Amino acid sequence: MVRDEYGYDGEYDDDYGGRRARRRAHRRTRTRRKRVFAWSGGFLTTLVLGTAGAGLWVYRHLDGNITSADLDQHLGGNRPQKLASRSMNILVVGSDSRAGANAKYGKGMRTMQSDTLMVVHLSADRKWATVMSLPRDSYVRIPSCDRGDGTTSAPHSFKINESFAIGGSKGDISRAAACTIKTVEANTGLRMDHFMSLDFQGFKGMVNALGGVEVCPKEPIHDAKAHLDMEPGCQTVRDEKALGYVRSRYSMGDGSDLGRIGRQQEFMRALAEKARKKVTSPDELYGFLDETTKSLTTDKDLAGLKPLYNLANEVKGIPKDRLTFLTVPNYPRQADVPSDKANVVWQYPQAAGLFDKLAHDKEVDKEQLEASSKDPVPTRSVRVRVLDGTGTGGRAAEAAEDLRELGFTVASTGDAPEPVRRTTVGYPDALRRSAEVLAARLPYAAERGGEQAGAGTVTLTVGPDYKSPR
């Protein structure tokens, strides 16, 4: 028996009767869908509104699972301006804490650790979203942070995930989150609106509550550090295997954090899709929410079922093809510092362009971004002549030191022929790409092509508007 597009399997006497039958079948299908959504949606509403009886108990239990981090007192006032008022940036941290049940994943670590770092950008109209992964091996500038013992750290450059450890050196999630937010904001220029952290045990619980998630490794995986042994082929993973799969790095691909980020993004997609399809009953929904909330820490404004439900309600309409997962363009730092084989640096101007798009709430074309990032210009290869155009003296030397800290090669310093009103980046046409790398770190600077300043050099003329990019 053949069913039509509306699910009707009867015979049609005529066109009119056929249309009536299709409409009846369509209404039945739509009604069944409504019942499913009403079942799960009604239960969520009961949780959120806290009605009497068991619903109130469940609501209080799940609501009480969520840990609140008081960030405001630790962030300070020197933060990026929010350029798109209704858009939202949520900093998401996968916590690598080795306390309690997590101790078996690595002993000897005395501070809180971050294993995964992402910025989730929700558009102002809630019609698209971008999940931007920040490699934990990113070598960035870490600002001064409160350690929680009455001392503050000095600004320095290191792996981005060290910021979580600095703030969390005394086990305080609020300070760990604040230091991470300050570091991400300082290096991206994006204002973080909210913060979420989920630890190892919470991740496993979420996967288990869904009955596992299917993955399809193409090669066998044997990673002692991640406690993982898997054969190739599609299989459903849960418990330690699920956690090991998203954590494994040394035995897969090139052993870098970048390959792991790709697997994490694929796993998140599969996890979200499994949750969307499977969580259709109160029992399943409660189990999933219980596992999620008991290992979840958020900022104060999100710390509760009601604000989380409101957030979920806002974004539930984003179609899958408008949810983009990507990674900040980067390349091995070894290209700039031959002795550093452990870190990556963000690739400019591509990274700056990505941050600017999100700051102005513009959707990112992932394919275009990846295509433009295929042939990076290492910062070390950019030779810069620095001229002081302020007329006050000493500014060229200061700017030169800033550029060296960022990895640029300073060819020479000196005074400009005459004072200038603003900072400029001048370059011969053959060095346009090198000039773009430099200009991306000084977004306020004017670019001037066609200059013939010297063999193989880009010229930075420091004006009174110069700001240290460090």
Measured distance CA(297)–CA(434) in Å, rounded: 42
Q: Which of 186, 184, 39, 169 is nearest to 120 (CA)?
A: 184
Can you give the CATH number for the domain in which 316 is found? Answer: 3.40.630.190
Task: Supply 171's token pair.
Answer: 């086990």
Is 45 in a helix, a strand, or coil? Answer: helix
- 167 and 24, same domain (yes or no): no
Whether 296 is in a domain gets the answer yes
Whether 358 and 365 have beta carbons less than 8 Å apart is answered as: no
- 349 and 410, same domain (yes or no): no
Whether 439 and 423 have beta carbons less than 8 Å apart is answered as: no
- CA-to-CA dists, residue 419 to 76, 400, 408, 452, angstroms: 36, 18, 24, 19
- 365 and 393, same domain (yes or no): no
Whether 445 is in a domain gets the answer yes
Whether 264 is in a domain gets the answer no
Hunting for tokens 């700017």 — which residue is that?
A: 399
- Which conformational region is residue 106 in: left (phi greater than 0), alpha (psi within -120 to 50 degrees), or beta? left
Parent domain of 155: 67-210+279-372
- 342 and 434, same domain (yes or no): no
- 296 and 367, same domain (yes or no): yes
- 290 and 396, same domain (yes or no): no
E-strand stretches of 269-360: 296-299, 323-327, 330-332, 344-346
- CA-to-CA dists, residue 39 to 35, 42, 215, 323, 367, angstroms: 6, 5, 29, 26, 39
Would you state the pLDDT for residue 453? 66
Q: Which of 263, 318, 264, 314 is nearest to 130 (CA)?
A: 318
Whether 95 is in a domain gets the answer yes
- 203 and 319, same domain (yes or no): yes
Measured distance CA(385)–CA(391) in Å, rounded: 17
Would you state the pLDDT for residue 8? 34
- 92 and 134, same domain (yes or no): yes
- 346 and 395, same domain (yes or no): no
Task: Answer whether 0.75 is exceeded by the pTM.
Answer: yes
Whether 49 and 42 have beta carbons less than 8 Å apart is answered as: no
8-state DSSP, 146: B
H-run or E-run covering 417: none
Would you state the pLDDT for residue 1? 42
Positive or negative torsion for Cα 124, 130, 136, 138 = negative
- Among residues 372, 387, 414, which one ends one of the domains? 372
Whether 227 is in a domain gets the answer no
pLDDT by 10s per residue, the chain, length 470: 433 333 333 333 344 445 555 555 455 444 443 333 333 333 344 344 333 345 677 888 888 999 999 998 899 888 999 999 899 999 999 876 545 544 554 444 445 677 789 999 999 999 999 999 999 999 999 999 998 888 999 999 999 999 999 998 888 899 999 999 999 999 999 999 999 998 877 788 888 888 899 988 888 888 877 778 888 999 999 888 888 888 777 556 555 667 777 788 788 888 877 877 766 667 777 888 888 888 889 999 999 888 988 888 888 888 889 999 999 999 999 999 999 999 999 999 999 999 999 999 999 999 999 999 999 999 999 999 999 999 888 899 999 999 999 999 999 999 999 999 999 999 999 999 999 999 999 999 999 998 876 779 999 999 999 999 98
Is 113 in a helix, a strand, or coil? Answer: coil
Span between the terminal Cα atoms of the chain, in Å: 70
Whether 165 is in a domain gets the answer yes
Count of the separate structural domains present in the chain:
3
Whether 200 is in a domain gets the answer yes
- 103 and 198, same domain (yes or no): yes
- 146 and 106, same domain (yes or no): yes
Whether 124 is in a domain gets the answer yes
DSSP 373-391: TSS---GGG-EEEEEE-SS
- 362 and 427, same domain (yes or no): no
